[in-house]
Amino acid sequence: MNISKEQLDELNAVVTVDIAKADYSDKVEKILKDYRKTANIPGFRKGHVPMGFVKKQYGKAVLVDEVNKLLQDALNKYLTEEKLDVLGNPLPKEQEDFNWDADDYSFQFELGLAPDFEVNINGKEAITHYKIVPTEEMIDNQVTTMQKQYGKLIAKDAAEAGDVLSGTFANEEEAIENTTTVELDKIKGKKNLDKFIGAKVGDVITVKTKGLFEDDHDLIAALKIDHDKAHDLNIEVTFTVTEVNTQELAELDQELFDKLYGPGTVKTVSELKDKIKADAERQFEQQSDQQLLNAVTESMLENTKFELPAEFLKKWIQVTGENALSEDEAKDEYEKSEKGLRYQLIEGKIINENNLQVTFDELKAFAKDLIKSQMAQFGQMSPEDKELEDIAARILSNQDEVKRISEQLMSQKMLTFYKENAKLKTKEVTFDEFVKEVYK
């Protein structure tokens, strides 16, 4: 067997694999002899089928199968040993005069090669890394929410602003009938609110759904409908009042603080607000970090220039999918995926050059941290390490979970790398300012 490579240009090559009869004949002969011993063919006793008959009936199929196996193994070994960084997979070239009745064969494969380039994380301008801070109003609103959560409802005769009404929303034509509670603070507009003010048990209120609540998600919950149906829904619904209550807020005292954060963790209103602020900043950090990942990605794509073997990749896309594509369809698919492919190459180069690969020990430790975080949400603050080990082992036995957690960990590693190496400028903003600047 002989393998040779013709370099067409920096990004394209052709590999030729020559296979001689001596490379496959012994293997083919052995398979046919084994088949002769075991084959059950009508008209012949087992083990006494004439070899000529076996070769005539099955020789070509066995030959093709063995040559293809030999070819694939040899090609993979060659690519590995020569350290060829290929994009996609080798594509067999069409050979019109190919003859399986010959003794020796020659196969050719087109290769698309990964480009050689230097990663440039930074452009001329520093990348903005946002620090999102909660406003005093946001913190005060969270304090009030906590007081409501641990407060109590007191029944009253007629509704006033700020009260809570229980009842049933209904619309027979749309098959809507949902029993719920409505906080009058969430009703949008004086015209709508006036319909609820003064309401008593047994009253039936008719309102339009469009613009009923400050937040559309409240409409989804109130009517128990899906998001798509709620979008631009403009129908009349009735609300039959079954209870009228006023919300008595819980006192901002040690009893409430202990319920919220555990005994003695928070002792004053000022400490409570500091805690809320810190928790909010941690939550905002996830959004800020995701924005930073996006910004650095765009910067690298803009500032790291290299060519791709475009024609090879279009051809590869055309023939390797579940369904064959036309040239125009393959071109469209390539244009859609080109940006993602460029980023994969850039990210792969960063990972390899900076030893950022995910190890199994890192993956297991990361999985255990995720498990601890989830258990803490259900009040299990100090799980045993053996319990964490057992749960992590179960999770990591699932390949889909391994892939998902590996991607999370790699994203975290890349984020840390960017924070340490990219040219950043920190900008402190409120959440509303962040949304306005980033999502415009």
Domain boundaries for CATH 3.10.50.30 within the chain:
152-248
pLDDT tens sequence across 388-404: 999 999 999 999 999 99
Domain boundaries for CATH 1.10.3120 within the chain:
267-439
What average pLDDT score do residues 197-206 get? 96
DSSP 259-324: HHH-TTT--SHHHHHHHHHHHHHHHHHHHHHHHHHHHHHHHHHHH------HHHHHHHHHHHSSS-
Helix (H) or strand (E) holding 13: strand 12-19
In CATH, what number does 2-113 get?
3.30.70.1050
Q: 106-130: buried (b, 16+ CB within 10 Å) or exposed (e) per residue?
A: ebebbbbbbeeeeeebeeeeebbbb
Contacts 24+ apart (CB under 8 A), 96-102: 100/60, 100/63, 100/64
pLDDT tens sequence across 13-41: 999 999 999 999 999 999 988 888 877 77
Q: How far, in Å, CA of 353 to CA of 181, rounded? A: 57
Helix or strand or coil: residue 40? coil
Reading the block at residue 50, the tokens are 């004439």
Give me the helices (H) in 8-135, please. 21-38, 51-81
- Quick one: residue 355, left, alpha or beta (phi over 0 = left, psi -120 to 50 = alpha)? left
Instruction: Identify residue 325 by its one-letter amino acid code.
Output: L
| pLDDT at residue 46, rounded to an integer | 75
| pLDDT at residue 164, rounded to an integer | 94
Q: How far is CA 88 from CA 110, 113, 141, 335, 347, in A?
A: 11, 9, 54, 15, 17
Q: How far, in Å, CA of 195 to CA of 5, rounded? A: 81
Reading the block at residue 320, the tokens are 């390797």
- 213: which residues sit within 8 A by CB, 6+ positions away? 186, 187, 188, 219, 222
| pLDDT at residue 374, rounded to an integer | 85
CB distance 320 to 88 below 8 Å: yes
Which range (225-229, 238-242, 295-299) has the least confidence? 225-229
Q: What are phi and psi of 424, to 5 degrees?
A: -115, 155
Task: Report the residue count for the chain.
Answer: 440
Per-residue pLDDT at 381 exceeds 80: no
In this prediction, residue 292 has a pLDDT band, given cuts at 50, 70 and 90, of: very high
Domain boundaries for CATH 3.30.70.1050 within the chain:
2-113
- 301: which residues sit within 8 A by CB, 6+ positions away? 339, 342, 343, 346
In CATH, what number does 152-248 get?
3.10.50.30
The β-bridge partners of 129 are 426
CA atoms within 13 A on the CB side of 269: 10
What average pLDDT score do residues 230-234 get? 84
Q: Does domain 267-439 have CATH number 1.10.3120?
A: yes
pLDDT tens sequence across 68-88: 999 999 999 999 999 999 999
Helix or strand or coil: residue 54? helix
| pLDDT at residue 40, rounded to an integer | 73
| pLDDT at residue 439, rounded to an integer | 83
Instruction: Identify residue 79 by its one-letter amino acid code.
Output: L
CB distance 178 to 169 below 8 Å: yes
pTM as predicted: 0.72
The residue to which tokens 């093709």 are assigned: 64
